[in-house]
Amino acid sequence: MSIGEKLTNKMFKWVVLYPGFRKFVNWIYNDVMKMPQYHIGMAPGQIGPYVLLVDDPQDAEKAATLLDNPQEIAWHREYRTFTGTLGGAKVSVVSVGIGGPSAAIGVHELAAIGGELFLYLGCGLAAAKEVQPGEMLIAKGAVRDEGTGLQYAPLAFPAIADLRLVSCLRDSCLEGSLPYRVGLTRSTDTYYNIYANQYADQADNFPYTLCSDLNTAAVLITASVLGKRAGSLLQAGDRMQPLTMTHIKTGVSALRQFMAVNHVV
Amino acid sequence: MKISREEYANHGLLGCSPGTIGRYVLLPGDPDRVPMIAELFADAKEVSRTREFCAYSGTLQGEMVSAVSTGMGGPSTAITVQELAHLGAKVLIRVGTSGAMQKFMEATDLVITWGAVRDEYTSQQYLPLSYPAVADLDVTLALSAAATELGFRHYIGITQSKDAFYGEHQPERMPVKHQLKQNWFAWRKAGVLCSEMEAAVLFITAPVFGVKAGGIMVAGPSKQSLQNLLKTAVRAIEILIEQEKGGAS
């Protein structure tokens, strides 16, 4: 074993065993050397402060067509990133995969390299009986029926969206005269559980919720704990499916409205 | 005419009979603040005075409005919300004092509660802990608009609702002091703005009883900013009434 390898092994051991040393190494990597983040593979400067989050790498490509000068920056694992501009401000579209664990890693690393506002676009599954398929569901909060958020904040902490962003999302639904509802979504960890017994489960066990989804709670909790803004716009449907253009356009127009009224950076 | 406590108590624990409570209600914790709020209403009169509950009703822009004290803590707040909803209240706004938790805040700042940490037990008897205690969008936007209009410095964010006042102020007296201090650290680190005792219960019981809820607090004990707080809350109700009238016509 060469001296270099031995040193690397030693350092890896220290990083694993001593949190203080890990903090120091993280600081050197992220803030001094500006190395790319571990999973998303991007460094500061490669994304904008406004970030659209989607599940599917293919949806990221679709959403990027609405940006000005979109460029594919990176594609590692499920994280595919396009960066472009909207009205002069830098905006990125990132796919974060299905589920809390990958969404939380995505938001955490994006926040570390300059993401300030996260808008998640996803599918609202097993919607409540009064909700029609295709309706826009604006999540002002999420029921934390999932595990990732627990490692960021205790269960008593509310998974809620940014007030201004929720207001902009509602305005953009009104502007596009789309049917919408503002309410709670239930974020869960198991897709086939909700898919199998959708109506009975939603209405009986989760009253006062509009739908179920898999990412919202993790995105909201992670962003909130890291001091960033986040929101979630879902479209009611009966299964995970590609995002519709109307859905993405509504999200983008909400971002434009947010930029016009509130300047994040 | 002096009405006896027994006569008041004929109508639930609040002692308010049907028809005496408006659709918009301000909820302070302290019964002594109810007359202070009532001074801001037109033709206000006492409706009930029993236990920790004091109720006054008056009018704002021709619409009947009320102020009802909840008493301190979750249990009496839940009782108040349930009885008020039964009496026809539609919008409940908590007004009260709290303790600032972040260094950048001052005692005179207003805090508009958009969500609350459910560090209490009453709300868990209504909905599971996984539900977020979140305010109503329109009510919170109206509070924010009112504070901006009147020029008071305010923050919008998450507040902590606790059960034990002295768990926060004298944690070392408690057998669970380590847990209390650990949680306190966690809430501060997560960006919680201030600590109080009722918002989470109000926000969780609101959807259960079909009412809209919001909350605004002052971040420290200050008489002047309490007046600012009450003026803001009253202005927010006026904004909501205006919006409703505008929407109807």
Which residue in A156, A157, A167 is closest to B137 by CB distance?
A167
Q: Which of A163, A171, A232 to mutate to test the interface with B (most CBs of B within 10 A)?
A: A163
Q: So what's the pLDDT on residue B117?
A: 96
Q: What is the mean pLDDT of each run of 10 residues along chain A (265 residues)?
A: 86 81 83 87 92 95 94 94 93 95 96 94 87 93 94 94 95 95 93 68 80 94 95 92 94 94 67
> In the beta sheet, which residues pair with residue B97?
B218
Report CB contact under 8 Å: B130, A227.
Answer: no
What pLDDT score was predicted for residue B141? 96
Residues 6 or more apart whose Cβ sits within 8 Å of residue B229: B95, B110, B216, B217, B218
Burial class (CB in 10 A: 0-12, 13-18, 19+), B91: buried
Nearest alpha-carbon partner for B64 in B34, B95, B43: B43
Return the pLDDT at A193: 75
Compare CB distances from A156 to B117, B127, B191 and report the shortest one's residue: B117
Q: Which of A182, A184, A227 sits opposite B132 (nearest CB)?
A: A184
* Closest residue in chain A to residue B121, using alpha carbons only: A156
pLDDT at B78 over 90: yes
Beta-bridge mates of residue A121: A233
> Rounded to two decimals, what is the model's pTM?
0.91
Query: Does B245 score more than 90 pLDDT?
Result: no
Contact B130 A170 (CB under 8 A): no
Compare CB distances from A225 to B118, B190, B207 and report the shortest one's residue: B190
Nearest-CA residue of chain B relative to A229? B157
Name the minimum distance, in Å, from the CA of B21 to any CA of chain A: 26
pLDDT at B213 over 50: yes
* CA distance to A111, B38, B85, B231, per residue, from A149 (Å): 16, 43, 33, 38
**Closest chain A residue to B155 measured between Cα atoms?**
A163
Is the Cα dihedral B176, B182, B186, B189 positive or negative? Answer: positive
**Domain A46-261 is classified in which CATH homologous superfamily?**
Nucleoside phosphorylase domain (3.40.50.1580)
| Stretch(es) of chain A classified as CATH 3.40.50.1580 | 46-261
Interface of B with A (CB under 8 A): 114-119, 127-134, 137, 140-141, 144, 156, 158, 183, 186-187, 189-191, 207-208
What pLDDT is attached to residue B1?
54
- Contact indicator for B92, B204 with CB cutoff of 8 Å: no
Residues B132, A145: C-beta atoms closer than 8 Å: no
**Which domains does chain B carry?**
5-244 (3.40.50.1580)
Q: For residue A31, what pLDDT is reported?
A: 80
Residue B249 clears pLDDT 50, i.e. is over it: no
What pLDDT does residue B9 have? 55
| Residue B159 Cα, gap to closest chain A Cα (Å) | 10
Mean pLDDT (chain B, rounded): 91
Cα–Cα distance measured from residue A41 to residue A119, given in angstroms and rounded to the nearest whole number: 20
Secondary structure of chain A: what % helix, strand, coil (to 5)? 40, 25, 30
B116: closest chain A residue by CA: A158
Question: A160 and B114: CB-CB below 8 Å?
Answer: yes
Query: For helices B223-248 and B137-150, what crossing angle results, to 10°?
Result: 120
